[in-house]
Structure 1
Amino acid sequence: MKEKYIKTIIKNLTCSKKKKEEIKRQLESDIGEALNTGEKVEDVISRMGEADEITKAFNQSFSEEEKKQFRKERRNRRFLQITGVLAVLILLFWWTVPKNTLLTESKLFDAEEVEKKTELIIQYLDEENYQEIKKLSIEKLADMMNKKEMDQVKSHLGNDWGEFQHFGEVYLIESSRMGQHSAIAQINASYENTSVTYTLSFNQDMELNGLWIK
């Protein structure tokens, strides 16, 4: 009860931190002396008066210099609070925004393996061998690997692609976001009647976890 009473008084004082500490020590001393004489804490607080009234009396007694110091410290606290919030937001932004590096520099993925698996999966797509693709995919993506779903995707690029001709240049990167790392391959494939860009992503277990066709 004593601690709460003193804390309520100190909380709204319009003075410097140093002055608040000084007043706090004085209040603790005054109340402590009264308690040592056998007075109950409730009686001491009742005799001293309401916390708000004591705070008001203290505030009226402070010099302009003391109030000026209070305003300065309050500005500094707000600045530190804003700076802290901005630092957290910047860190969060950095954490959530994907960061990309060349796959040849990766310590988690082998560029040659990623390229070969990319070409293999595209071969399976051309053959409509979705069972084999499912074996290489995460469960969520495997559920979408069927003729109906893939025919719908392919139809946006035309109904007759013709026979596969050859692959173009492949671009390989490692992307990290929120602690998760993926290998991403983008490769052009030429067919008799069209050209298609495939983008495939793999998790660290080299399971297919993303597929885009355009």
Structure 2
Amino acid sequence: MNQRSYVKAVAKRLTCSKARRDEFVRDLESDIAAALAEGETWEQVERRMGDPRDVAREFNEDLSDRELAAGKKRRRNKVVGIVSGAVVVVLVVLVAAAWWATPKTAPAGQSVGLSEQEVIERAQEAIVLFDDGDLEAMRAMSTEVMQNALDAKSMDAARASFSDDWGAFESFGNAYAFEASQLWVTQEVVEVVAIYENVTVTYDIVFEKDMKLSSFFIK
């Protein structure tokens, strides 16, 4: 045990007021410094002074009732401070958890290393495959759950629910994309307008990890 640890070990066992404790610590440090200045080694000083617990106990035995009461109050306040600190830590954790669980947005493609335009083009690719009725190609770019949901009947029903005759595809209109994160899930969300001969359709498309198609809605 070095000099600093020795003094600290004594101080934490003193059952008096903070002022009296600080005064005793200063006296103890002064005695040690004087002994070292006179040529004693720290090991010799430590052996002569004895176990820190014994030093603290002898000091506490001579304390007045007033000092003992002050010491109890100081320790009680310290416990309250520790408990309060623990409560603050819990609150910080709860706030952090709430922040983590709250949906957050970011520029499209940020987590997958793509630009917004590249994410939009990926969505447009899915729309072209939908228009062509290329079910297998759509499945190849989809998540496992989406693969199971994609079939010719559902694709025809989605198209028919909007209009019986879309006409030929003419061009893409406005499009925008953003990245949405909540808990451990990050998605690329895209809205694309497609113009056909007889209708104008808006697609809401979502990609998940590795830009796999996970949602494909028409409105």
Q: Which residue of 2 aligns with 1:175?
A: 180
TM-score w.r.t. the length of structure 2 is 0.57
| Ranges of 4+ aligned residues in structure 1 off by more than 6 Å | 104-107
Q: Which residue of 2 aligns with 1:44?
A: none
Q: 1:77 to 1:152 in 2, by over 3 A?
A: farther
Contact 1:160–1:193 (8 Å) recurs in 2: no
Q: 2:134 aligns with which of 119, 129, 132?
A: 129
Letter in 2 for 1:160: D
Letter in 2 for 1:85: V
Distance 1:158 1:67 in 2: 78
Q: Residue 137 of structure 1: CA displacement?
A: 0.9
Q: Which residue of 1 aligns with 2:143?
A: 138
Q: 1:81 aligns with which of 74, 77, 86?
A: 86
Instruction: Report SS of the residue matched to 1:160.
Output: coil
Q: Does 1:114 align with 2:103?
A: no
Letter in 2 for 1:84: V
Aligned residues: 161
Letter in 2 for 1:199: D
Distance 2:139 2:188 in 1: 18
Q: Residue 125 of structure 1: CA displacement?
A: 1.9
Q: Deviations over 1:20-58 (max 9, x none)?
A: 8xxxx57xx9xxxxxxxxxxxxxxxxxxxxxxxxxxxxx
CA RMSD of aligned residues (A): 3.5
Instruction: Report SS of the residue matched to 1:108.
Output: coil
Q: Does 1:97 align with 2:99?
A: no
Q: Which residue of 2 aligns with 1:160?
A: 164
Distance 1:194 1:130 in 2: 22
Instruction: Report SS of the residue matched to 1:205.
Output: helix
Distance 2:73 2:157 in 1: 71
TM-score w.r.t. the length of structure 1 is 0.58
Instruction: Report SS of the residue matched to 2:211.
Output: coil
Instruction: Report SS of the residue matched to 1:78.
Output: helix
Q: 1:81 to 1:116 in 2, by over 3 A?
A: same
Q: Which of the pair has more CA radius of gyration?
A: 2
Q: Which residue of 2 aligns with 1:211?
A: 216
Indicate the percent of aligned positions where both proteins have the same amino acid. Answer: 27
Letter in 2 for 1:198: Y
Q: Which runs of 5+ in 1 are unaligned?
A: 1-16, 30-61
Letter in 1 for 2:189: I
Q: Which residue of 2 aligns with 1:188?
A: 193
